[in-house]
Chains A and B, each alone.
Chain A
Amino acid sequence: MGSGQATQNMPFQGIVLFRPRESQKRILSYSGGLMGVAAVPGSGKTAVLSALAARLVATSLDSDQEVLIVTLVNSAVDNFSSRIRQCLKSDYGLLPGMGYRVRTLHSLSLDVVRERPGLVGLADDFAVADEAECDRLLKEVVQSALRTRPELFSNYARPECESQSWARQSWQDDKALQVARAFIRQAKDRQSTPELLQSWLTARGDPWPLASFCASVFADYQRGLAYRGKVDFDDLVSHAYTALRLDEDYLQRCRHRWPFVLEDEAQDSSRLQQDLLALLTGSNGNWVRVGDANQAVYNTFTTANPRLLNEFLQRPDVQPIEMQESGRSARPIQELANHLVDWAMEETHIPHAGTAFRAQHLRVTEADDPQANPPGGDCRVSFFGPAQSPDRELQRVVRSLVKWVPKNPQRTVAVLTPDNARGAEFVKLLQSHGLTCVELLNKSSPARSTAETLQGVLGCLADPDSPAKLSQAFLAWQWRQVKSPETRTAVQALAASIAACPRVEEYLWPRAGVTWPNAHEFADEATQFLADFRERVQRWQAAAGLPIDQLLLTLIPDLFDQPADIVRAYRFAVVLRDYSDTNPNWTLRQLAAEIDRIASNERHLAGALGEDVTLDPEKHRGEVVVATMHKAKGLEWDRVYLTALNNYDFPSGAELDSFKSEYWFVRDGLNLQAEALGQLEALRPEGRPYVEGEPSTEARWDYIQERLRLLYVGITRARRELIATWNTGKKRTQTPAVAFTELRTFWEQSHPGVEGIGEPSSPVAPQLSPDQEERGNVA
């Protein structure tokens, strides 16, 4: 996990060796004030921040104080906590677990609000609505608002689409919701309440229907949340900021408690996060911000903004530190990444690409560095240039892996895709070739597995007379116990028998001598299996009338034996209880359907469950990790495949490029999310004037910049080997991304004659028919 120099030998379990480099020494000598650290990928920022935190805990705190570390995701919380724990114990001989607090922005906000909820109009038991619930509420509100504003669609639809029902349907079902969601998030980040927006709209004579629509949805959405006694994640941050602003004493108490604030991944800070931490630290506070603006890949239609970190680094009162040495990748791969930065800033004709990156190069480490770069001689880079369909790309990559993995069982490898759907296709094909896959896609595998187990059992309780559901419950019950192919076959056979059972009740609740299975129908062992299962289902059915949380708690001991599974299932129970309270008329079937969504949203506030949210590539040698490029951030592998590098996923603003957020039915290439945000900005008294189309154009440039940085992130995941491919999309209209072509040219010119990899001479994967090949869905 991570790229810190100390992690090379002991990647996740702890830190034994930490010999700071020069730039790291400067950070470790920090004693107070403002410091900004620009850290390249693999420069060891997690290690150095952890060491700094431990030193501050040991040397600079009173007993009632803590060092506050704020980071982006839960996996990083876990990583920081274990490192600091280790440092405190091994370097300072202190009790671990005390004197510091590692939080994501949302969990920090929750801490702040929970301590004084009354300040922001909340009761002590207020709940945070999860994303699924927020989406459901927002959808209701949007659809209701659209019914009263049918003209909104006509305002923006292309003339030929105005009468197309599917265009209108797409707007109503999905797109309007996306626009409203972006607007609301931005409004909350700017601390603009629905009332304030309404007053601005009224003052300006309600000039823009889109803003008017979004403001109205915002007001209804907030009312809906309040009615449920809930807040959403964005409210949480906003409330934390408000609470601290409202009560100076409370603010001072928090400042006393957290005299040092260390912020990781600061390039992904939103304005509100920055304001919140600035408020917590105060004008003379101690605040260390660490980030890499070149890895800012979350700013499109989120509130994250990498410019904030760059501005901070340039402030005269900030001590800037450059961490440029990185021992992660072999020198040629570093050169490739550096060239991407140089090319974007100076050479390319892509408009505005010049500001995509901060001028910072990766540098190799000293020869005696504990994390010296892999030898350049081992390094291989390949750009697969010929046009290929998405399916062909899929096959080519899988074929390459089928050959490579068995030969390199001690190496790590990842396939990086631009989106989850494409990742899922890779997983499917890889698995069909017998390769072990680890998914790092939109939901974590353990969470999904827990959800599937619970759903299997709840399904049979929602349909208690269905043999098929009972069979699924049997599989859910037994699947975790399957350790061998023989057992798997036996369990599948029994499940099939249950599915074929003509009358469920004769198996589960035999009466009047009628029972299933008949004596001698199965072997003794199988009969015992079936009897055990019957006993359990009888108990589960008896509990079916309990409130959902209690029902799940009744099931859990029968289904899980691993602590992480039990805790996750318990958490599902608690969340489902929230759902049930909010929707008292929901049936068991409806509640069971929500588990999947909860699993997909193992998210902001979820605590660390070990494997749940954290992936350590070193634990998956000889397996293939499939991840989106976004999810791969912070990780590294010996070999990396970068896929689908075409002009759809990595546009350059060329005439034929299309942009995901520009809906096909909208006139003039407008990006309605961007237009809505532009109108929101213009509503503010000090805001920029709104000119239709300008926000859409700017959004294009922002997106182009972000995708260049995403490519940079992808390249810098590779230690030794990098393979880049592209595809033509299902319409065969896509071309290689401009950056792909540039990097390929650079590589071929700077490394003439170097042998490429990943171009198998003969297909290993089964041939697909041309028809099947066409069904790729990359673009």
Chain B
Amino acid sequence: MPKLELTPAQKSIILAPVGNPRAVFLHGPAGCGKTTAAVERLRYLLDIGVRGDSLLVWVPQRSLGRPYSTALRGPDVPAGPTVDVVSLDGLARRTLELFWPLVAADAGFDPLRSPTFLTLETTQYYLDQVVEPLYQEGAFGDVTLPRNRLMSQIIDNLNKAALVGFAHTEIASRLSSAWTGPSSRERVYEAVQRAATGFRDYCLAHNLLDFALQVETFMRFVWSRPECQAFLLRGYRHVIADNLEEDIPVAHDLLRAWVKQADSALLVMDEEAGFRSYLGADPRGAAALRDLCDREVLLDLQQVASAQVMALGAGLAYSSRSPLRQGQTAAPDMADMRSALAVDQWHFHTDMLVFVADEVEKLVHSAGIAPGEIAIVSPFVDDALRFALVTELQRRKVPVRTHRPSRSLREEPAVLCLLTLAQLAHPHWEQRPPASQVALALTRAINDLDLSRATTLVRMLYRSKDSQPQLREFGMMRSEAQQRITYVLGERYTGLRQRLMDYQQGQPPPLDVFLSRLFDELLCRPGYGFHNDLDAAAATASLIESVRKFRWAVETSDNDELGKRYLAMVGRGVLAAQYLRSGADPDEAVFVGPAHTFLTENRPVSYQFWLFANSPAWGRRLYQPLTHPFVLTRHWPRGTQWTDEDEFQTGEETLSRLILGLTRRCREQVYLTFCDLNPRGREERGPLADRMQNLLRQARRQPERKGADGFGTGDAEHAIPGDSLV
């Protein structure tokens, strides 16, 4: 995109003398150039000689620091110490390690032992042990949840307590006081409390720090110590904090102290945002930071979205029921929106996906739009949907990037191959993978080995002896069978088998070391399946890291025990600690993912496709019966019950924010796609469809009133399948 000229308002922020004003509160809707101004301010400070290591760029999550990191890698950035771009969790972890001996005893840990920082996986692993007896006694009563979801909500409650800043022992009382249903749920909340408290006690006793405990220990025992605070404040004299509305309350607390003592501060906040509220984001707390500032600047001149897209956003967001409507002007002119909106309706979602892929193909290959200028968003993107859409786009040679949320490790084919080989290399674990799994693993591990031959091979050579899996020698096959497999592949099989056999001779190293050696010494070599396969290499690295962290977190010196426990954990389907991202450059690939993920990337595009526009999931919060994103906040009055009206209003407001967030990040056009039946074959209704319908009704009326050719009318009868309504 062409580089935009800076506005006078932006220039006044960028070029302001250091310390005059000392703190600026910059706010406005998304797409008005706030981050641009803040990035330029950073470069300006460096240009005028401010040391990089005295600058702190504060963001709620790493991805939101991307514009700053990119700018800091630019060729014209002055040489010198690097600028830290951090979020609270990064700072907490780093500082805790530094001050551990000083704070460990006060925080209830053993100061003589080093801390173990838990990943999401290892947190689940330990929590599982606490939850198990509660589960067995039926303590979670009338709540219907799979075990891993139950644990993730307990973890979420602990995180909320730490991020909001209340004692973790208050979880049950806060949830109960807002609950309007039967008292049986209060007993469940008590069970949740017992699990959370038990887990916390266990962590303290074993020097384990999950995310919540890291934040809490940092805030209560590091940040609160004058010497620690002085260390941090003395170092970073200039603060630029962006996307404050997406940050958490304790981060705002910390910034409050920081800004007061900094030589200069620029605080940046998006209005009508706060898309991470379910993770604890606190837009109201962010807005309160303006009190600290000497100057307040509003940037509201839209630089991203066209006027037509803005009109569309306003039309949909400021509906009659929207709480954001107050103070807004009359309904926007429908004619303004014509070029900004395409509405299509389909009966089957599969037809809709094909249509979207066709349209994207046209944009990319015929209209010359860069793939990075297109986003396909949906309120949900499950694996099947993601896979179907990505396949359609790839078939049309359109590069895609997807954001795949945490998923079970065992679903990665390369990981499953490695873990199967680990089972074969440790027959004394007595874990016998099914023959079909071994055949698949061999096809992954041995280059050119097809599934038919692998199956034949396994049928003839894979045995079980005393409950132990065993791969027999290739030479034990009849020569006719060897010919079928071919000698070349037989040789590779022999190489792999020999490696696994050799390994059994010595003392077993830790599982991560085994995997690492297997990869380095065999699988990445020519003739084997991971050779020149970057995706498999990345998955292997991810697995090795996961096992290594597990080893650090689990107190056992018995490597067999460690391996068995890890495999058992994977077998239970725990979520991977890290997101596996596609490696595509955001500028060169079409985004496919949930609408919220797109928003938290804060990266505008020219074209957006909104899928399943009639889904009720648009604007709806995640329902988790054992936690509550709005009750477990600072703003929810203790003792107040959460009612249906709260639920409804929150949903409406969330939808309005979502619509505004999306349209303010769209330059040209929104494709709104409806389909009668969702992927499970159900007909759905949702609030976005209702708002669109209202807009269409207004559009029908307007031409008569104005005597002009108005909004394109849709005859929904003709719109099926796939007829454009607008």
Is there an interface contact between B451 and A246, defined as CB atoms closer than 8 Å?
Answer: no
A98 CB to nearest B CB, Å? 6
* Assembled-state Cα–Cα distance A547/B622 (Å): 25
Is there an interface contact between A570 and B571, defined as CB atoms closer than 8 Å?
Answer: no
Is there an interface contact between A463 and B455, defined as CB atoms closer than 8 Å?
Answer: yes
Is there an interface contact between B453 and A246, defined as CB atoms closer than 8 Å?
Answer: no
B720 CB to nearest A CB, Å? 9
Is there an interface contact between A589 and B436, defined as CB atoms closer than 8 Å?
Answer: yes
Q: Interface residues of B, CB < 8 Å — how many?
A: 84
**Residue in A85, A97, A573 whose CB lies within 8 Å of B384:** A573
- Contact (A505, B644) CB under 8 Å given A550-B384, A553-B384, A567-B681: no
B5 at the A interface (CB under 8 A): no
A222 CB to nearest B CB, Å? 9
Please give, as numbers and ranges, the residues of chain B lying within 8 Å of A115 by CB-CB distance.
Answer: 616
Closest chain A residue to B152, Cβ basis = A123
Please give, as numbers and ranges, the residues of chain B lying within 8 Å of A97 by CB-CB distance.
Answer: 716
Is there an interface contact between B486 and A511, defined as CB atoms closer than 8 Å?
Answer: yes
* Assembled-state Cα–Cα distance A462/B452 (Å): 10
Please give, as numbers and ranges, the residues of chain B lying within 8 Å of A563 by CB-CB distance.
Answer: 347-348, 350-351, 721
Is there an interface contact between B682 and A110, defined as CB atoms closer than 8 Å?
Answer: yes
Is there an interface contact between B620 and A124, defined as CB atoms closer than 8 Å?
Answer: yes
Which stretch (A225-233, A307-315, A520-528, A670-678) binds chain B?
Answer: A225-233
- Contact (A581, B573) CB under 8 Å given A107-B682, A571-B680, A574-B679: yes
**Residue in B624, B644, B696 whose CB lies within 8 Å of A247:** B644
* Assembled-state Cα–Cα distance A111/B697 (Å): 25
- Contact (A116, B644) CB under 8 Å given A225-B144, A226-B145, A230-B144: yes
* Assembled-state Cα–Cα distance A114/B617 (Å): 10
Is there an interface contact between A249 and B388, defined as CB atoms closer than 8 Å?
Answer: no
- Contact (A121, B188) CB under 8 Å given A226-B144, A553-B391: yes
Which stretch (B112-120, B179-187, B256-264) binds chain A?
Answer: B179-187
- Chain A 573-586 against B: per-residue CB contact (8 Å), 1 yes, 0 no? 11001000100110
- Contact (A547, B146) CB under 8 Å given A122-B623, A505-B453, A567-B350: no
B342 at the A interface (CB under 8 A): no
A472 CB to nearest B CB, Å? 15
**Residue in B147, B459, B683 whose CB lies within 8 Å of A465:** B459
* Assembled-state Cα–Cα distance A609/B185 (Å): 40
Among residues 230 to 273 in chain A, which have CB atoms less than 8 Å away from a CB atom of chain B? 230-231, 246-247, 249-250, 252-253
- Chain B 618-630 against A: per-residue CB contact (8 Å), 1 yes, 0 no? 0011111100100
B690 at the A interface (CB under 8 A): yes
* Assembled-state Cα–Cα distance A762/B682 (Å): 52
Closest chain B residue to A538, Cβ basis = B450
B274 CB to nearest A CB, Å? 20
How many A-B pairs with Cβ below 8 Å? 202
B467 at the A interface (CB under 8 A): no
Please give, as numbers and ranges, the residues of chain B lying within 8 Å of A253 by CB-CB distance.
Answer: 644, 648
A56 at the B interface (CB under 8 A): no
Please give, as numbers and ranges, the residues of chain B lying within 8 Å of A227 by CB-CB distance.
Answer: 146-147
Is there an interface contact between B693 and A553, defined as CB atoms closer than 8 Å?
Answer: no
Is there an interface contact between A250 and B146, defined as CB atoms closer than 8 Å?
Answer: no
B174 at the A interface (CB under 8 A): no
Is there an interface contact between B452 and A550, defined as CB atoms closer than 8 Å?
Answer: no
* Assembled-state Cα–Cα distance A89/B140 (Å): 51
* Assembled-state Cα–Cα distance A775/B256 (Å): 88
Q: Interface residues of A, CB < 8 Å — how many?
A: 83
A486 at the B interface (CB under 8 A): no
**Residue in A124, A230, A549 whose CB lies within 8 Å of B622:** A124
Closest chain A residue to B614, Cβ basis = A97
Please give, as numbers and ranges, the residues of chain A lying within 8 Å of B443 by CB-CB distance.
Answer: 545
**Residue in A107, A121, A230, A589 whose CB lies within 8 Å of B143:** A121
Among residues 468 to 524 in chain B, which have CB atoms less than 8 Å away from a CB atom of chain A? 484, 486, 488
Which stretch (B198-206, B241-249, B409-417, B542-550) binds chain A?
Answer: B409-417
Closest chain A residue to B486, Cβ basis = A511
Q: Which of B349, B444, B647, B690 has the most C-beta atoms of chain A within 10 angstroms of its own C-beta?
A: B647
* Assembled-state Cα–Cα distance A398/B486 (Å): 57
* Assembled-state Cα–Cα distance A228/B437 (Å): 24
A435 at the B interface (CB under 8 A): no
B168 CB to nearest A CB, Å? 21
* Assembled-state Cα–Cα distance A116/B153 (Å): 17
A682 at the B interface (CB under 8 A): no
B466 CB to nearest A CB, Å? 21
- Chain B 415-456 against A: per-residue CB contact (8 Å), 1 yes, 0 no? 011000000000000000010110110011000101111111
Is there an interface contact between A545 and B440, defined as CB atoms closer than 8 Å?
Answer: yes
A722 CB to nearest B CB, Å? 37
Is there an interface contact between B616 and A553, defined as CB atoms closer than 8 Å?
Answer: no
Is there an interface contact between B440 and A119, defined as CB atoms closer than 8 Å?
Answer: no
A290 at the B interface (CB under 8 A): no
Is there an interface contact between A577 and B721, defined as CB atoms closer than 8 Å?
Answer: no
* Assembled-state Cα–Cα distance A553/B394 (Å): 14
Please give, as numbers and ranges, the residues of chain A lying within 8 Å of B533 by CB-CB distance.
Answer: none
Please give, as numbers and ranges, the residues of chain A lying within 8 Å of B143 by CB-CB distance.
Answer: 121-122, 226
**Residue in A110, A231, A249 whose CB lies within 8 Å of B144:** A231
- Contact (A85, B717) CB under 8 Å given A121-B142, A553-B387: yes
A715 CB to nearest B CB, Å? 35
B677 at the A interface (CB under 8 A): yes
- Chain A 714-748 against B: per-residue CB contact (8 Å), 1 yes, 0 no? 00000000000000000000000000000000000
Q: Which of B188, B439, B444, B717 has the most C-beta atoms of chain A within 10 angstroms of its own C-beta?
A: B717
- Contact (A505, B181) CB under 8 Å given A512-B486, A546-B413: no
* Assembled-state Cα–Cα distance A101/B444 (Å): 50
B581 at the A interface (CB under 8 A): no
Please give, as numbers and ranges, the residues of chain A lying within 8 Å of B690 by CB-CB distance.
Answer: 64
B585 at the A interface (CB under 8 A): no
Among residues 473 to 498 in chain A, which have CB atoms less than 8 Å away from a CB atom of chain B? none
Q: Which of A463, A464, A609 has the most C-beta atoms of chain B within 10 angstroms of its own C-beta?
A: A464
**Residue in A89, A544, A550, A588 whose CB lies within 8 Å of B383:** A550
A95 at the B interface (CB under 8 A): yes
Closest chain B residue to A97, Cβ basis = B716
A606 at the B interface (CB under 8 A): yes
Is there an interface contact between A587 and B644, defined as CB atoms closer than 8 Å?
Answer: no
Is there an interface contact between A63 and B643, defined as CB atoms closer than 8 Å?
Answer: no
**Residue in A96, A123, A508, A574 whose CB lies within 8 Å of B149:** A123
- Chain A 54-84 against B: per-residue CB contact (8 Å), 1 yes, 0 no? 0000000001100000000000000000000
Among residues 493 to 520 in chain A, which have CB atoms less than 8 Å away from a CB atom of chain B? 503-506, 508-509, 511-512
- Chain A 91-127 against B: per-residue CB contact (8 Å), 1 yes, 0 no? 0000111100100000100110011111111111110
B645 at the A interface (CB under 8 A): yes
* Assembled-state Cα–Cα distance A512/B453 (Å): 14
* Assembled-state Cα–Cα distance A64/B685 (Å): 12
Is there an interface contact between B383 and A577, defined as CB atoms closer than 8 Å?
Answer: yes
A223 at the B interface (CB under 8 A): yes
Is there an interface contact between B679 and A571, defined as CB atoms closer than 8 Å?
Answer: yes
* Assembled-state Cα–Cα distance A462/B440 (Å): 11
A607 at the B interface (CB under 8 A): yes
A605 at the B interface (CB under 8 A): yes
- Chain A 444-476 against B: per-residue CB contact (8 Å), 1 yes, 0 no? 000000000000000001111100000000000
Beyond A547-B383, A553-B388, 9 additional pairs, beta carbon < 8 A? A111-B685, A121-B142, A123-B624, A123-B625, A464-B452, A541-B450, A553-B391, A563-B348, A607-B677
Q: Could you tell me which B residues sit within 8 Å of A by CB distance?
A: 138, 140-147, 149, 153, 180-182, 185, 188, 321, 347-351, 383-384, 387-388, 391, 410-411, 413, 416-417, 434, 436-437, 439-440, 443-444, 448, 450-456, 459, 484, 486, 488, 571, 573, 616, 620-625, 628, 643-645, 647-648, 676-683, 685, 690, 693-694, 696-697, 714, 716-717, 721
What are 20 A-B contacts with C-beta separation under 8 Å? A64-B321, A95-B697, A95-B716, A122-B625, A231-B144, A249-B643, A253-B644, A505-B484, A508-B452, A509-B453, A538-B450, A544-B440, A547-B383, A549-B387, A566-B350, A567-B348, A570-B388, A607-B676, A607-B680, A608-B683
Those 6 A-B pairs whose CB atoms lie nearest each other, nearest first: A249-B644, A607-B681, A229-B146, A124-B623, A121-B143, A250-B644
